[in-house]
Amino acid sequence: MKPAPFVHHAPRTLDEAVAVLAEVGHDGKVLAGGQSLIPMLSMRLAAPAHLVDINGVAGLDSLTVDGGYVRVGATVRHRGVERSEEGYAVLPLLRQALLNVAHPAIRNRGTTVGSIAHADAAGEMPSIAVLTDAVIEVRGPQGSREIAAGEFFTGPLETELAADELVTAVRFGRFAPGTRTGFVESARRSGDYAMAGVGVALTAAEGTVTAARASFVSVTDVPDVLDLTPVLAGASAGDIASRSDDLVTAVREHVAPEGDIHATADYRRMLAAELTRRLVAEVMSR
C-alpha cells in the first residue's frame, strides 16, 4: 500500500497551477484534501505520474457569501464550510449535509470542491451542488469558464472538466425566501458512504408548499434534481401525510440504484423513498 512514483508539483499561483496541468495533461492529477486520491494511490488503483498540489496556491482558501451564492474556494476544507456561521445563516443545507460527510478527521482535510470535482455519486456534496443549482468555476489554459452543476456531472466519477482544467471554486445557490431544507442519509456505520441519502428544499408561503425539490446520494449514477412540486404543492404540515404515497412513488420512479455488497438495489430504492418521506415530514413540522 505504497504509491507508485510520482512527481509532486507545488505551484504557488493559479497561473502556475494551470500551466503545470496543461504541461502534464492526462498524466496529472490535482491534489487538494487527498481523502479520495491518496487511498487510491496507496492501493495503486491510480498511478498518475504527476500530482499538482494546489494546497499552496494563493487565493483558493476562502468562503464568501455574495449575492445569491455561497462561494467556496478550492482549498476550503469541509470542516470550514460546515462551521461557517456566515454560510449557515444563508444556506443551512451545507452544514446539514456536511455533518454526514465521513468523520471530523476526514472533514478536516477533505475539501468540498474536491469532493465535487471527484464526482462520486455516493458523495454528499455533488448532490448538494445540483440541489442548489451551483455554479462550478473552472480555470484552464484558455482562461476561466463556468459550468452549471446540472451539466457538470456526466457519469460516475466523470465530469465536464478537461484534463488541463482546475475547479477553482463552487458557488452554491441560495434558495428563495421561505425555503426550508433538510438532509438525511442512512449508512451501514456512521460516517460511511450512504446506502441512500436525500436532501430536500421546500419552499412554502403561508404554511403551504409552493415549490419542492430533492436530490439523492448513492441511488442515482449522476446527481440530479427531482422536482417534487407536482407532488407536494399545496400541502401543509397538517396534511403532508396524505401525500406520502405519491411522494414515495415519485422517489421510487426517480432513483436508479445499483446493488453492492452492503445493500441491494431494491433495498436502496425503498430506503431512498422512506428517507424522503420522513425528511419531508420532519422539515414541514419545523
Partner 1 sequence: MTTKMFGAPIKRREDPRLVTGGGRYLDDLGHTAYEAAFVRSPHAHARIVDIDVTDALETPGLVGIWTHEDLDGPVGENLPLLIPHPALIAPATGFALAKDEVNHVGEAIVLVVAENRYAAEDAVARIRVDYDFLPVVVGLETARTAANLVHDHAPGNISAHLLQEVGDVETAMAGAPHRLSLDLAIERSACMPMEGKGVYARWDTDAEHLTLWSSTQTSTGVRAAVAARLGLPLAKVDCITPDVGGGFGVKIMHPWPEEVLIPWAARLLGHDVKWTEDRREHFISSAHERGQLQEVEVGFDDEGRVLALDVKFWHDNGAYTPYGIIVPIITATQLLGPYKPGAYRVEFWSMFTNTVLVTPYRGAGRPQGCFAMERTMDAIADYLGVDRAEVRSRNFILPEEMPYDHGLMFQDGRPLKYDSGDFPASLAKLKALVGWDDFAPYREQAASEGRRVGLGIGCYVEGTGVGPYEGAHVVIETSGRVNVATGLTTQGQGHQTAFAQIVADELGVPIETVHVTTGDTRRMAYAVGTFASRAAVMSGNAIALAARAAKAKALKIAADALEVSEDDLEIIDGVIGVKGLPEASMPIGTTAVLSNPLRYAFDEAAKAATQFAGTFDPDKPPVADDEEPGLEGKDFYSPTQATFANGMHAAIVETDPVTAEIKILRYCVIHDCGTMINPMIVEGQVHGGVAQGVGGALYERMVYDEFGQLLNASFMDFLIPYASEVPHVEADHLETPSPLNPLGIKGAGEAGCIPVSAVIASAIEDAEGFPITSMPISPGDLWELRQQHDRGELPSLRRTTAESAKEKS
- Which positions touch partner 1 (CB under 8 A)? 1-5, 39, 43-44, 186, 188-193, 195, 261-264, 267, 270-271, 274-275
User: Which three cell numbers, joined as nine digits, stand for 70?
Assistant: 455561497
Look-up of cell digits 471527484: 118
Closest approach of partner 1 to the CB of residue 255, in Å: 15
Q: Which of 79, 83, 132, 127 is nearest to 102 (CA)?
A: 79
CA-to-CA distance for 154 and 221, rounded, in angstroms?
9
Nearer to partner 1 among residue 102 and residue 212 (C-beta): 102
Nearer to partner 1 among residue 224 and residue 274 (C-beta): 274
Nearer to partner 1 among residue 51 and residue 129 (C-beta): 51
Closest approach of partner 1 to the CB of residue 132, in Å: 27
Q: Which of 285, 248, 276 is nearest to 183 (CA)?
A: 276
Nearer to partner 1 among residue 49 and residue 89 (C-beta): 49
Closest approach of partner 1 to the CB of residue 274, in Å: 5
Neighbours of 194 (CB within 10 A): 27
CA-to-CA distance for 235 and 224, rounded, in angstroms?
24
Look-up of cell digits 430504492: 269
Q: Which of 108, 133, 129, 104 is nearest to 118 (CA)?
A: 129
Closest approach of partner 1 to the CB of residue 1, in Å: 4
Closest approach of partner 1 to the CB of residue 266, in Å: 8
Look-up of cell digits 470542491: 113
Q: Give the CA count within 13 Å in the CB-facing half-sphere of 15.
A: 0
Closest approach of partner 1 to the CB of residue 171, in Å: 31
CA-to-CA distance for 136 and 42, rounded, in angstroms?
29
Question: Alpha carbon of 86 to those of 94, 172, 177: distances in Å?
Answer: 11, 13, 17
Neighbours of 152 (CB within 10 A): 25
Q: Which of 8, 14, 15 is nearest to 75 (CA)?
A: 14
Look-up of cell digits 442519509: 185
User: Which three cell numbers, joined as nine digits, stand for 279?
Assistant: 425528511
Nearer to partner 1 among residue 12 and residue 188 (C-beta): 188
Nearer to partner 1 among residue 69 and residue 193 (C-beta): 193
Closest approach of partner 1 to the CB of residue 256, in Å: 18
Nearer to partner 1 among residue 19 and residue 106 (C-beta): 106
Nearer to partner 1 among residue 192 and residue 246 (C-beta): 192
Closest approach of partner 1 to the CB of residue 228, in Å: 19
